[in-house]
Amino acid sequence: MSRYLGTCLCGAVALEVEGGITSIIHCHCSKCRKASGTAYATNGFIQRSGFRITRGEELIQRFESTPGRYRYFCGQCGSPLYSENSADPSRLRLRLGILDSEITERPMSHNFVTSKACWEDLDAQLPRYEAYEPGR
């Protein structure tokens, strides 16, 4: 069984996931772009029964983005953590960027691409660097 660990940017919130991550997607919808401040958010489903906050639960804040859908984030550094949908109480949608562990699962698709940022080119052949770009 898989076991993944994660923390927010400031490290005040820590979490643990027991079990696999399913339906991993890169979501380009405007809500995910705004919530992440990036071109897209990479999310995957986990079973609520295998999810545990191990540190900083008192710091977690939530925002109801649409009725019955809540986005959870660290109230100290603002890192998005996970979301829940009252229509699907057995699962949570985890923001994979908070994981510190390597995962074995991989994304299956880019979703809501008609809502993608106008500057996002999914097939761009941009230079790749191990750290900052030269001259920075």
Report domain extents, the chain.
3-115
Q: What is the pLDDT of residue 37?
A: 93
12-24: average pLDDT: 97
- Closest by Cα among 86, 91, 119, 116 to 20: 91
Query: Distance between alpha carbon 123 and the CA centroid of its chain, in Å?
Result: 22
Min mean pLDDT across 58-67, 70-79, 91-100, 115-124 is at 115-124
Rounded to an integer, the average pLDDT of 76-80 is 97
DSSP, collapsed to helix, strand or coil, labels residue 114 as: helix
The length of the chain, given as a count of residues:
136
Are 93 and 43 in contact by the 8 Å Cβ rule? The answer is yes
Residue that the structure tokens 């993608």 belong to: 116
What mean pLDDT is predicted for residues 15-37? 95
pLDDT at 127 over 90: no
Are 78 and 10 contacting, i.e. CB atoms less than 8 angstroms apart? no
Note the pLDDT tens digit of each residue in 1-15: 899 999 999 999 999
pLDDT in tens, 38-72: 999 999 999 999 999 999 999 999 999 999 999 99
**The pLDDT of residue 135 is above 90:** no
Fold that domain 3-115 belongs to in CATH? 2.170.150
Question: In this model, does residue 82 exceed pLDDT 80?
Answer: yes
Compare 107 and 127 and report the one with higher pLDDT: 107
The mean pLDDT value of the chain amounts to 95
Question: Strand 41-47 and strand 3-7: pairing?
Answer: unpaired
